[in-house]
């Protein structure tokens, strides 16, 4: 899984999806908009790992095992 939804990222960081959208809007986490619907954002896994590492945050990858 190379690209994650805001909901998936929120689960990994144990915050709300709104918090993730705020991080994206503030430029803290890079994201891409899907060409078929510009309102859907995706976060590259590498960008998320860098964000978490730079901010001393834990990514709970077990949250995606459903």
**In b/e form, how buried is each residue of 8-43, taking b as 16+ CB within 10 angstroms?**
bbbbbbeeeeeebbebbeeeebebeeeeeeeeebbb
* pLDDT tens by residue, 14-63: 999 999 999 999 999 999 987 776 668 999 999 999 999 999 999 999 98
What pLDDT does 66 receive? 57
pLDDT band at 1; cut points 50, 70, 90: low
Identify the DSSP state of 63. G
What pLDDT does 49 receive? 96
| Better-predicted residue by pLDDT, 40 or 9 | 9
Pairing of strands 37-44, 3-4: antiparallel
Q: Give the separation between CA 38 and CA 52, rounded to whole angstroms.
A: 25
Please give the domain boundaries of the chain with CATH numbers for all domains. 3-60 (1.10.1660.10)
What pLDDT does 59 receive? 94
């Amino acid at each position: 899984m190379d690209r994650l939804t805001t909901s998936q990222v929120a689960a990994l960081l144990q915050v709300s999806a709104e918090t993730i959208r705020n991080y994206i809007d503030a430029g803290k986490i890079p994201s891409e908009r899907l060409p078929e619907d510009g309102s859907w954002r995706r976060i590259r896994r590498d960008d998320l790992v860098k964000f978490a590492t730079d901010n001393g945050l834990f990514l709970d990858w077990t949250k995606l095992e459903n």
